[in-house]
Amino acid sequence: MELWPAPLAVGPVTGTIALPGSKSITNRAYILAAQAPSPSILTNALRSRDTDLMAAALQALGTEVAFTGETTVTVTGGPLHGGAVDCGLAGTVMRFLPSLAAGAHGTVEFDGDPQARARPLGTILDALRGLGARIDGDGLPFAVHGDGPIRGGTVTIDASASSQFVSGLLLCAPSFVEGVVVHHDGKPVPSMPHIDMTVDMLRTAGAQVDTSEANTWRVAPGGIRAHDWTVEPDLSNATVFLAAAAVTGGAVTVPHWNRASTQPGVQFADILTAMGAGVSYADGAITARGTGALHGVDWDLRDIGELTPTVAALAALADSPSQLRGIAHLRGHETDRLAALTAEITALGGRCAETEDGLHIEPATLHGGVWHSYADHRMATAGAILGLVTEGVQVEDIATTGKTMPDFPALWNALLGNRS
């Protein structure tokens, strides 16, 4: 597979980077819009592999998706029929769409990339069976046999492997005859900000959601209305560019940074500060400044696990040890991110070891080499960060960043002042 020479920064990285919309918000907005009785308009919608897969899947089932510009799309719901869904590697497609497909008239067949067949799906599929859905299979490929809206009701699940199991049930609950009550029973749910995002967006779209009881979410049937969504920039993608300032002693500004956002990326500012970088806000933008020092941290990343590859890259360049905790669930992401980060940091001369629920990273001098991406977009961008200050890093399959960030290499090179 083609290797991408990660650009070496010749000095402090400085500049302003405007980023495309959030994948998480875009794909949730798609699902909600598909259930509305009239058209919804998404502005600043992300166009990436994951979101294009969601749009194509909805179209395959009978939803009208019409782009009137590169990032403006009108979604018109209607009766759903059977069809074929390509999930790629998108967790939001494979875990959000089965609930919608359960209410279609006809059979919906799901499949995806070879790597996706190892991702855990039994929790959401079993939950849907308990709510009245007919499903063949416990992982990709599987088939959902729809005959109109499913009953819904009360279900208890263990969502400790992924918050997407909860979101996948809640997002389509207004279309269930009885709505849904989801109880979580197990270890703490990771990535809770993503569930908060789901709840906020459901309420914005008119659904009644009760979260007054711990580990329980109640969604009443009906209530979904059309809503015109303005999608925030993807703050998790933004962290990679802010990290560039931290490791090179530069200053990078990201506009339209919503400090009240439910996106996990908003918490990265606190991590940067703890690691010794400067963070400031002005005119709705965030600026990260490198100070010439980068310190290790002891941080529980359970709620913001998707930031782990970025934080691990910073930790590998820090002057003291880091303990990254609460992220055992990352073993079930696009790849086993804990094993992947350990292998790749170690291969470049770093000192990284897995713990029961995370990573322990010690200071070490890195050297060049191949950084494998494992078809994981956040692994690829972590390699780009290390390559800023480590000569000779080559990232395998940089194109995988297209999952959530179209043309990442061009954005990265532009920030570094390179022409290509």
C-alpha of 88 from chain center: 14
Q: Is 28 annotated as a binding residue?
A: yes
Give the list of residues 6+ apart from residue 330 with CB closer than 8 angstroms, or none: 305, 308, 336, 337, 338
CA distance 242 to 206: 35
Q: Is 191 annotated as a binding residue?
A: yes
Residue 126: CB atoms within 10 Å:
16
Question: Do the Cβ atoms of 351 and 361 come closer than 8 Å?
Answer: yes
> Catalytic pick from 232, 306, 334, 344?
306
Q: Is 164 annotated as a binding residue?
A: yes
Q: Is 302 annotated as a binding residue?
A: no
Q: Are strands 251-254 and 14-16 parallel, antiparallel or unpaired?
A: parallel
Task: Pick left, alpha or beta for residue 72 (phi over 0 → left; psi -120 to 50 → alpha; otherwise beta).
Answer: beta
Q: Is 129 annotated as a binding residue?
A: no
Q: Is 91 annotated as a binding residue?
A: yes
Count Cβ atoms within 10 A of the Cβ of residue 129 and give its class: 0-12 exposed, 13-18 middle, 19 or more buried: middle
The closest of 179, 175, 164, 180 to 224, measured between CA atoms, is 175
Q: Is 163 annotated as a binding residue?
A: yes
Q: Are strands 369-371 and 393-396 parallel, antiparallel or unpaired?
A: parallel
Let me know if 306 is a catalytic residue.
yes
Q: Is 337 annotated as a binding residue?
A: yes
Q: Is 333 annotated as a binding residue?
A: yes
CA distance 234 to 170: 22
Catalytic residue numbers? 306
Known binding site for 3-phosphoshikimate: residues? 23-24, 28, 162-164, 191, 306, 333
**Residue stretches of the annotated binding site for phosphoenolpyruvate:** 23, 91, 119, 164, 337, 378, 403
Feature table: binding site: 23-24, 28, 91, 119, 162-164, 191, 306, 333, 337, 378, 403
